[in-house]
Amino acid sequence: MRRLLLASAALFALAVPAFGQSVDRNQVNRIIDEGTTRSQVMPIAEHLADVIGPRLTNSPQMRQAEAWTMAKFGEWGLKAVHREGFDFGRGWSIERSSVRMVSPRPIQLTAIPIAWTPSTGGTISAPVIVAPIKRERDFDKWRGKLKGKIVMVTLPDTGSEPGEGAFKRYTADELGKLDQYQQPTYAAADRRVKRLDFAKKLDAFLKAEGALAYATQSRSDGKLVHGEGYLFGVGDTPSVPGVEIAAEDYRRLARLAKSGTAPTVEIDTVVHYDDSDRNAYDIIAEIPGTDPKAGYVMAGAHLDSWVAGDGAADNGAGTAMVMEAARIIAATGVRPKRTIRFALWAGEEQGLLGSLAYVENHLATRGNPNDPKQTGLALYMGWSNRWPITPRPGWGDLAAYFNLDNGSGKVRGIYVENNQAVVPTFREWLAPFASMGANNVVIRKTGGTDHVFMQAVGVPGFQFIQDPLDYDSRVHHTSIDTFDHLKGADMRQASIILASFLVNAANAERALPRPPLPTQPVVTDPYAYSDDDE
Ligand SMILES: [Zn+2]
């Protein structure tokens, strides 16, 4: 059934009379040739992941990546290569960290400092206490009991076995399910914002109680750790050292604490803060268009990453594919009608902050200018709920934005993000790549990455459907996000398709249809009650 549907969709695409006019097949051939026989996508990814390493926003390695990517764009002949700064916060990097259980028996634990927490200031050695603290009202239970302890704040869980294979590609059936319209829903307040203050309150509580350090349990089994932390603002960073411990190691400590004398753990962490420049930087580069009045199209991926692994799949892969698309297009010598702009975002992992800064500076602002200015994650969660939207003069110039941030899997199609009107055009643009496995134009809207705030101000922003591989099952944000998990053939294919979409969008007779400028929606379910503890 699904196959029949796909086949008739392909026939329909072939029957469109404009077909062949809107896609320059010779240009497609040039892109495929450049992107296969002279591909640079894997060397780019390898340099980012292996040589530079993880790129936490404002860390020394991110600064290195900013300089290196700009130099590369310059080398390939891109124009207007520059960086655009926005206020972010403190740089933070790990020099070294060791977490060991020393009694009842010595064993090295798999653990990572939580981002933006401080050094231990030498080795600390102390008994652990399992004190699950999830919300403010848990403080009372533990008051007076934490002094001199390493506090295990996560409630230990019982672990889980994997239900399906760790590595997968989409089946036709799964792809078909992505082409189902889902009505948008709207709730007046984002309850996540309430929880944001909790990390700060927990830090203050632990400090006041005289705790030496705290530990959380990794949310993944298999000795994977992540180390995400969000208190990165100047004046906001925590005062108590924190480590995330691998689930198996954490549960062992918890079992021993329950059944006998609390184990003693030794932590020695050296981290560095860097306040020399609190600005983070988006990297921008262009292939100029021949018609200055035609506006521009853009592709983007975030350059920043977490630090447990090397930031290879998230999002060295997307960065490398966007850079490779730029290189391919430049190498083919095409002179597009619209400018093609490339953006490598910073601060994505802390709330899409780099692309948000771009939107605010170039496209539109939201809310009353007298609203209190939100920062960091609160800004991320609150921004889309500020009204009204005020377009900037450049709002109409951005004709289309394409994002890559779903690992290294090959492109299987594109999400039109509820922009129904672009479906026939995207079918034409995708048609040359059916034999490469990319033949699905689906209605579904996606979230969580840098096209979100473009859409939030009515700019046509899109994401490609990528094969999941082992991205969600084990690589995303974890200690094994390394080059080993990147697939070269997939990344070459995705770079080629992105390059082709960009050239088509840049040369299209008319700009892509835009969604209406959003206005404040009504609450979808005004009768719903909420549990504030959630
Ligand atoms: Zn990402």
Q: Along the 534 residues of the chain, how does pLDDT read in single tens digits?
A: 433 333 344 444 433 334 445 799 999 999 999 999 999 999 999 999 999 999 999 999 999 999 999 999 999 999 999 999 999 999 999 999 999 999 999 999 999 999 999 999 999 999 999 999 999 999 999 999 999 999 999 999 998 888 889 999 999 999 999 999 999 999 876 667 777 789 999 999 999 999 999 999 999 999 999 999 999 999 999 999 999 999 999 999 999 999 999 999 999 999 999 999 999 999 999 999 999 999 999 999 999 999 999 999 999 999 999 999 999 999 999 999 999 999 999 999 999 999 999 999 999 999 887 777 778 888 888 888 889 999 999 999 999 999 999 999 999 999 999 999 999 999 999 999 999 999 999 999 999 999 999 999 999 999 999 999 999 999 999 999 999 999 999 999 999 999 999 999 999 999 999 999 999 999 999 998 876 654
Expressed in angstroms and rounded, the spacing between residue 127 Cα and the centre of ligand 1 is 37
Expressed in angstroms and rounded, the spacing between residue 481 Cα and the centre of ligand 1 is 11
What does each C-alpha distance from 133 to 98, 129, 225, 455 come to in angstroms? 24, 12, 20, 37
- Dist. CA 5–CA 149, nearest whole Å: 62
Expressed in angstroms and rounded, the spacing between residue 193 Cα and the centre of ligand 1 is 21
Expressed in angstroms and rounded, the spacing between residue 444 Cα and the centre of ligand 1 is 19
Expressed in angstroms and rounded, the spacing between residue 348 Cα and the centre of ligand 1 is 7
Distance of CA 396 to the CA centre of its chain: 26
Q: Which helix (H) or strand (E) holds 197?
A: helix 192-209
189-200 per-position pLDDT tens digit: 666 777 778 999
Expressed in angstroms and rounded, the spacing between residue 319 Cα and the centre of ligand 1 is 10
What does each C-alpha distance from 186 to 34, 161, 195, 360, 525 come to in angstroms? 45, 35, 19, 23, 8
Expressed in angstroms and rounded, the spacing between residue 150 Cα and the centre of ligand 1 is 32
Expressed in angstroms and rounded, the spacing between residue 527 Cα and the centre of ligand 1 is 35
Expressed in angstroms and rounded, the spacing between residue 533 Cα and the centre of ligand 1 is 28
Q: Which helix (H) or strand (E) holds 429?
A: helix 423-430
Expressed in angstroms and rounded, the spacing between residue 352 Cα and the centre of ligand 1 is 9
Max intra-chain CA distance, the chain: 78
Expressed in angstroms and rounded, the spacing between residue 321 Cα and the centre of ligand 1 is 13
Expressed in angstroms and rounded, the spacing between residue 92 Cα and the centre of ligand 1 is 19
Expressed in angstroms and rounded, the spacing between residue 478 Cα and the centre of ligand 1 is 12
Expressed in angstroms and rounded, the spacing between residue 117 Cα and the centre of ligand 1 is 22
Expressed in angstroms and rounded, the spacing between residue 294 Cα and the centre of ligand 1 is 31
